[in-house]
Amino acid sequence: MAEQVLEVEGLSVDIPVTGGMLHPVQEVSLTVARGETLAIVGESGCGKSLTSLSLMGLLPSRAERRARRLSLLGEELAGKSERAMSDIRGNRMSMIFQEPMTSLNPAYTIGDQLAEPLERHTRLSRREVRERAVEMLERVGITAAASRLGQYPHQLSGGLRQRVMIAMALICNPDLLIADEPTTALDVTIQAQILHLMAELQREFHAGMILITHDLGVVARVADRVAVMYAGQIVETGTAAQIYGAPSHPYTRGLLSCIPIPGRSRPGEHLGAIPGVVPSLIGRMEGCHFADRCALVEPRCRKGDIALRDGSGSGHRYRCVLDPETPATQEAPA
C-alpha cells in the first residue's frame, strides 16, 4: 500500500458568530496516499472549502480548529506554530484556488510570483530560481515561457492563469496538493485540458491530491476516492466506483439524480430534486443533518449522533441508519 501523505482524524472547526457557535466542519476524518486523488464533493456551505483551509492552517483568526490527528507524512501539524506552518505551506503542501484572477497578485509579474515560494523555502540563487520558474512554466504547457515571466496576470487568459497557479503550487515539489474548485471558473474545453495536466503532473510529482469541487462530473473522471460532505459532515465515502455505482446515502442519491446527463436523463423529463434547504449549523444539532430534506426519514433518524457504517465494499462507508436497499426515489416538488 502506498504511503499515506495526509491522515486526518476528528477535524472540527468552530467559528463564533452572532447568535451562537457555528460548526461548519464536524468530525471529519480522511486520508490521502501518495499518487492518490481524494475528491471532497458537496454543495455550497457544506464545509468542503473550510476543511481544506483548516488543513492548510489558513482559517480566519477567530475560528478554532480541533483535531485528534492531523499529520503530514507522520508529522503532527495540529500544534504547530504559525511560523512553522508557513515553512510547510507552499513547500510541502500547497493549494490551487478557484479564481486565478483573484488569487494571483495583479501588481506583481508572473516571474515574481513564481519565484516567491522558491525564495521563501529554498536557497537557490537568483539564476537558478529563474531557470526553475521557466522550466515549471514549460512543464504546465505554457509556450514562450521565458517571455511570460515579465507579464502581469491580467495579460493572460483564464486558462493560462490557472496553469500559472498550478506551476506555483508545484514549484517546490509538494507532498500534498489541495485544489479548491480548480476548473470551476474555466470554459469546458479548457477545463478538460487543465484536468489532464493536473493528472499528469500528479503522477510525475507523485503527490497526494485533495480535489474540492461541487461538480460530480469532474469527480467521477478524476477521483480515486470520494468523500461526500453535507452540512459539515462526511455523509458518504468510498471509491469513485462505489459512490457512483452503489450510492447509499439518500443525499448522495438525490444529488446524482439532480444532474442532467446527455443520453441518459431523457429530455423533457423532470430531474430529481432535493426539497428544502441546508440546516443552520449554529449550535448543537441532534440526529441526521439531512433528516429534514430526506424522503425516507424515520423517527430514529432524529436521535443521537448518526455514525458512519460500512457499505457495499471495503472502504465504503455512509452515515445513515437506513439500509441501502431502501428505494430512494425522491419525488420532485410540483
Partner 1 sequence: MSETVLEARGVRRSFSVSGGFMKPRRALHAVRGVDFTIRRGEVVGLVGESGCGKSTLAKLLLGLMPPSEGEILLEGAPISGQDRLETARRIQPIFQDPYSSLNPRKSIGTIIGLPLRVQTDLGGAEIARRVTETMDLVGLPARVVDSYPNQLSGGQRQRVAIARALINRPSIIICDEPTSALDVSVQSQILNLLQDLQREFGLTYLLISHDLSVVEHMASRVAVMYLGRIVEERPTAGLFAEARHPYARALLDSVLTPDPSLGIPDTHLGAAFPNPLEIPAGCSFHPRCPKAMPRCCTVAPDPLRIGDGMVECLLHAPDQHDEPEEETTR
What b/e readout covers 29-57, taking b as 16+ CB neighbours within 10 angstroms?
A: bbebbbbbbbbbbbeebbbbbbbbbbbbb
Residue 85 in contact with partner 1, rule: CB under 8 A: no
Residue 283 to residue 23: CA distance in whole angstroms: 7
Question: How many residues bind to partner 1 according to rule CB under 8 A?
Answer: 57
Q: Quote the least distance from Cβ 267 to partner 1, whole Å.
A: 6
Residue 109 in contact with partner 1, rule: CB under 8 A: no
Whether 225 and 210 have beta carbons less than 8 Å apart is answered as no
Which residue intervals of the chain are DSSP H helices? 48-56, 82-88, 100-103, 110-121, 126-139, 145-148, 158-170, 188-205, 216-222, 240-245, 250-258
What would the DSSP string read from start to end of 50-70?
HHHHHHHT---TT-EEE-SEE
Q: Which three cell numbers stand for residue 97?
A: 484556488
Contact map string, positions 36 to 75, toward partner 1, x by CB under 8 A: -------xx-------------------------------
Residue 215 in contact with partner 1, rule: CB under 8 A: yes
**Which part of the chain contacts partner 1 (CB under 8 A), choosing from 13-21, 66-74, 258-266, 281-289?**
258-266
Residue 75 to residue 285: CA distance in whole angstroms: 33
Residue 279 in contact with partner 1, rule: CB under 8 A: no
Residue 264 in contact with partner 1, rule: CB under 8 A: yes
Q: Provide the β-strand partners of residue 12.
A: 66
Residue 203 in contact with partner 1, rule: CB under 8 A: no
Q: Quote the least distance from Cβ 264 to partner 1, whole Å.
A: 8
**Which part of the chain contacts partner 1 (CB under 8 A), choosing from 81-89, 170-178, 182-190, 297-305?**
182-190
Residue 18 in contact with partner 1, rule: CB under 8 A: no
Residue 128 to residue 125: CA distance in whole angstroms: 5
Q: Quote the least distance from Cβ 166 to partner 1, whole Å.
A: 14
Residue 143 in contact with partner 1, rule: CB under 8 A: yes
Residue 271 in contact with partner 1, rule: CB under 8 A: yes
Residue 82 to residue 48: CA distance in whole angstroms: 22
**Which part of the chain contacts partner 1 (CB under 8 A), choosing from 4-12, 50-58, 67-75, 208-216?**
208-216
Work out which of 68, 196, 206, 302 binds partner 1, going by CB under 8 A: 196
Work out which of 15, 59, 63, 258 binds partner 1, going by CB under 8 A: 258
Q: At what angle do helices 110-121 and 126-139 cross, to 10 degrees?
A: 120
Whether 67 and 30 have beta carbons less than 8 Å apart is answered as no
Contact map string, positions 123 to 142, toward partner 1, x by CB under 8 A: ------------------x-
Q: Quote the least distance from Cβ 261 to partner 1, whole Å.
A: 5
Residue type, 265: S
Instruction: For the chain, give percent helix, strand, coil, nearest 5.
Output: 35, 25, 45
Q: Is 87 helix (H, G, I), strand (E, B) or coil?
A: helix
Residue 260 in contact with partner 1, rule: CB under 8 A: yes
Q: Quote the least distance from Cβ 104 to partner 1, whole Å.
A: 17
**Which part of the chain contacts partner 1 (CB under 8 A), choosing from 96-104, 119-127, 190-198, 280-288?**
190-198
Which residue is it, cell 458518504? Answer: 236
Whether 95 and 169 have beta carbons less than 8 Å apart is answered as yes
Q: Which of 13, 192, 198 is nearest to 94 (CA)?
A: 198
Q: Quote the least distance from Cβ 143 to partner 1, whole Å.
A: 7
Site of interaction with partner 1 (CB under 8 A): 43-44, 141, 143, 157-160, 187-193, 195-196, 199, 214-223, 240-241, 243-245, 254-265, 267-268, 270-275, 277, 332-334
